[in-house]
Structure 1
Amino acid sequence: MSDIGDSDISDSETSEEDEQLIIMQEARMKNQNYLEEVVPEYSNEVFFEHFRLSREVVNTIAERYEATPEFHRDSGPYGDIGALNQVLIYLWYIGHQTASFRDVGDRFNVTISTVHRIIRRLTYFLSNLSSEIILWPNDDGKRISEEHFSQKGFPNVIGAIDGCHIKIDKPQNDPDSYINRKGYYSIQMQAVCDHRRKILDVFIGYPGSVHDSRVFRNSPLQNSLDMKCGRYFLLGDSGYPLQNKLMTPFKDR
């Protein structure tokens, strides 16, 4: 009886292991064809959910990337990795906060070193585009933004300013200064956005423990705000100082 019981347990464990192996193999087969067969079948809505940009914008980025010295056609187990697929790999990585290089490599069936090269190249490429993409609005742009903010009860406003924390690994130098109020390591990014949430100005680099008001005081925007806004204003939360061109909340007493 003991032998029979041991045999049943052994058979059960073997069966569970076989099922797990089948599941892993099916997942790997799916990932092998993810870019070639799965992604093209996504609806526009599902595509946006996964990659955070529309297909049109992604294709435009890929075309520009392919025409630059930063682009190199990497090779994977199933052939070359072209510009479009590299952009998709990059967008997946930056759009999923908890994704590691290994996670991305498994999903797209590429090596970790390939993922690292793609992330590095595309980060450099996109950084070089910032000067022609992140622009303060001209007079027409200000007027259009003002109309939209006015409809929401904020006349003469063309944008809003705020800070956000970009999570980083523990720095080697002065790590405590990078711990933000939520308890993780980060660097500060200050951004101004218009009514469409398009970034008009960005300033980045201060440690996570630094307050928004200090980041603002040390940013180039502090000294150029009057000139940039003209007769208009920006909105900011209570973390920012009230200024001629920067409106912050006040208590109705």
Structure 2
Amino acid sequence: MLCKKLSPYLPCPEVFVTPPLTISHQVALCLYKIASCAEYRVVGDVFGVHKSTVHKYFHLVINAILQLRAEYLYFPKLEEAKTIAIAFQKITNIPNIIGAIDGTHIPILPPSDGYQDYVNRKGWPSIVMQAVVDNNYIFRDVSIKFPGSTHDATVFRESGLYKYSSQMIPNYYTDVNGMQTPMMLIGDPAYPLLPWLMKPYTGHLEPEEESFNCYLSSGRIVVENAFDSSLVFEDPLGNGTQITLDDGDSL
């Protein structure tokens, strides 16, 4: 299916002097690279091609995949959002939740210029990824453009989600004890409290507030699970250590 979807965006034989790899070969090579995080040379050895060939087709396939983003990465429309909200309410007892938002860190080999900007609070270089995930662990929105030292709140305020929230989040309200409650996302304390973004209570909490936080946390866990906190990556600096991801805040 993936090969069929990508074939219109991948090179045809007449583009090259020598025949290109088959579509399935190109896609397999790219998926192996993504899954293993191996060097181009290692991937080339596995597939019997030169590392420069791996580099070329890896970027061609990635660019082709990006052409499909509108088909697979989109915010739910009203009817689908209602279905998602019902599922979240069964988990949290809170109405009109349509997604959970959080940030994670993608390990990178940083540029020498501005290296410190990429070092996150855990001490290794990364790019921050902000994502919204629904009840089925499906990514609904992704923003990846800031270096690892950037705070989640800054990433959020510079994201398309924040700037175009009125266009992305369905305009639908549910009456809760006489109060009109809009559709909303849920996030951790790093995010601002907005009409369409709910966060936990902080500071000295009353029992009711602690109870609310527990229910809210039961919904936020979907985004942490989607990031998969059990993954382990080789250190992008290549010094022989490993980066273990924990608490869903690094990937």
The alignment's TM-score, normalised by the length of structure 2, stands at: 0.69
User: Cα RMSD between the aligned structures?
Assistant: 2.1
Instruction: Count residues in correspondence.
Output: 188
Greater helix fraction, Structure 1 or Structure 2: 1
Which runs of 5 or more residues in structure 1 are unaligned?
A: 1-59, 74-78
Aligned partner letter, 1:66: S
Provide the C-alpha distance between the structure 2 equivalents of 1:116 and 1:242, rounded to a whole number of angstroms.
44
Q: Whose RCO is larger (CA < 8 A, sep 6+)?
A: 2
Partner Cα separation in structure 1 for residue 63 and residue 141 of structure 2 = 19
Partner of 1:218: 158
Q: Deviations over 1:117-139 (max 9, x none)?
A: 11110111112222332111111
Secondary structure of the 1:166 match is strand
1:61 partner amino acid: L
Moved more, 208-217 or 185-194: 185-194
Which residue in the other structure is 2:27 paired with?
Answer: 87
Out of 120, 124, 127, the position equivalent to 1:187 is 127
Query: SS in structure 1 opposite 2:109?
Result: coil
Equivalent residues in 2 for 1:206-245, closer than 5 Å: 206-229=146-169, 230=171, 231-245=182-196
Distance 1:216 1:232, change over 3 A: same
Q: Which residue of 2 aligns with 1:249?
A: 200
User: Partner amino acid for 1:84?
Assistant: S
Distance 1:72 1:228 in 2: 37
Counterpart for residue 149 of structure 1: 88
Q: Give the deviation of 1:227 after TM superposition.
A: 4.4
Q: 8 Å contact 1:166–1:188 — kept in the other structure?
A: yes
2:109 to 153, 169, 181: 169
SS of corresponding position for 2:100: strand
Distance in 2 between the 1:243 and 1:106 partners? 51
Equivalence map 1:1-253=2 (5 Å): 60-68=1-9, 70-72=10-12, 81-97=21-37, 99-153=38-92, 154-229=94-169, 230=171, 231-251=182-202, 252-253=205-206
CA distance in 2, matches of 1:134, 1:84: 23
**Where does structure 2 lack aligned partners over 5 or more consecutive residues?**
14-18, 172-181, 207-251
Residues 137-179 of structure 1 deviation map (CA, whole Å, 9 limit, x = unaligned):
1112101111211111142101011112122212132111111
Q: Secondary structure at the match of 2:189?
A: coil
Give the structure with higher Rg (CA): 1
- Percent sequence identity is 35
